[in-house]
């Protein structure tokens, strides 16, 4: 099959790195630290992928504005103590390397901060394979299309030959808003039922399946 895509834009948390569970736990612990009831795991998972402040405001819209900085500090306290030990999903390390070797341009669009992504890229060893990255504290947060559009412009890519791969509805909406195709993964933060309405080309249940799909179809 002729190659369809040149640029592959990956989400990070829940797509390449198995971090959704730790993110949820850190949100719940942070809420308890400032005297709030812990939100449910499902509610916490729904806001993964957004920039941190936007995520917490979406999750806890009635919280007084002065309390968000305290909540952010407690979240970072709990998350940063464990983020260096978070594993990549099975097949990611070799798959990303092989996709790069096959001639794809690879990029990351993430709700993480720039500092957080740099830590993750260094700890995982994946940094050398990505041509460009965008983070939520650099531009508009998902599902705004800015991350995708800026990556396309920076890498001089064709939107018609660009594919976004992500585990949340925010990723797929970002792709749709940017006018590019998407591939959804069900092993991260959001369930298949959350992803299907946003018309991904396919839904994958593991990164091994993602790699096989890309090898066969991309």
* pLDDT for 1 beyond 70: no
Domains within the chain, CATH numbers bracketed: 7-19+88-217 (3.40.50.1000), 20-84 (1.10.150.240)
Label residue 200 by pLDDT band (50, 70, 90). very high
Q: Please report the pLDDT score of residue 108 as a whole number.
A: 98
Q: Please report the pLDDT score of residue 85 as a whole number.
A: 86
Nearest to 195 by CA among 217, 216, 218, 164: 164
Q: 11 an active-site residue?
A: yes
Nearest to 32 by CA among 77, 86, 81: 77
Tell me the pLDDT tens digit for each residue of 64-117.
999 999 999 999 999 998 888 899 999 999 999 999 999 999 999 999 999 999
Selecting among 11, 83, 171, 194, the annotated active-site residue is 11
Q: Please report the pLDDT score of residue 159 as a whole number.
A: 98
Q: Please report the pLDDT score of residue 81 as a whole number.
A: 86
Nearest to 43 by CA among 33, 35, 31: 31
> Do 114 and 137 touch, CB atoms closer than 8 A?
yes
* pLDDT for 48 beyond 90: yes
Label residue 42 by pLDDT band (50, 70, 90). very high
Q: How far apart are CA 163 and CA 189, in angstroms?
A: 20
Calculate mean pLDDT across residues 33-54.
Answer: 95
Selecting among 6, 13, 25, 83, the annotated active-site residue is 13
For residues 150-176, one letter each, b for 16 or more C-beta atoms within 10 angstroms of the residue's C-beta and e for the rest, the string is bbbeebebeeebbbbbbbbbbbbbbbb
DSSP 161: G
Q: Please report the pLDDT score of residue 3 as a whole number.
A: 83
* Residue % of the chain over a pLDDT of 70: 99
Q: Please report the pLDDT score of residue 83 as a whole number.
A: 83
Q: 66 an active-site residue?
A: no
């Amino acid at each position: 099959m002729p190659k369809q895509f040149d640029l592959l834009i990956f989400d990070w948390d829940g797509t390449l790195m198995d971090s959704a569970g730790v993110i949820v736990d850190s949100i719940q612990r942070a809420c308890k630290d400032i005297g709030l009831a812990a939100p449910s795991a499902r509610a916490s998972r729904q806001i993964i992928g957004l920039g941190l402040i936007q995520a917490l405001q979406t999750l806890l819209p009635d919280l007084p504005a002065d309390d968000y900085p305290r909540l952010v500090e407690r979240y970072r306290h709990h998350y940063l103590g464990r983020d260096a030990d978070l594993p990549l999903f099975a097949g990611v390390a070799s798959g990303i390397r092989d996709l790069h070797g096959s001639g794809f341009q690879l990029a990351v669009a993430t709700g993480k901060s720039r500092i957080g992504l740099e830590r993750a890229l260094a700890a995982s060893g994946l940094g050398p394979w990505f041509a460009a990255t965008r983070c939520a504290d650099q531009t508009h947060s998902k599902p705004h299309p800015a991350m995708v559009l800026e990556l396309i412009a920076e890498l001089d890519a064709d939107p018609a030959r660009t594919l976004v791969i992500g585990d949340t509805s925010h990723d797929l909406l970002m792709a749709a808003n940017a006018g590019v195709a998407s591939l959804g993964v069900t092993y991260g933060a959001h369930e298949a039922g959350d992803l299907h309405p946003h018309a991904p080309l396919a839904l994958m249940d593991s990164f091994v399946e993602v790699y096989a799909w890309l090898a066969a179809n991309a």
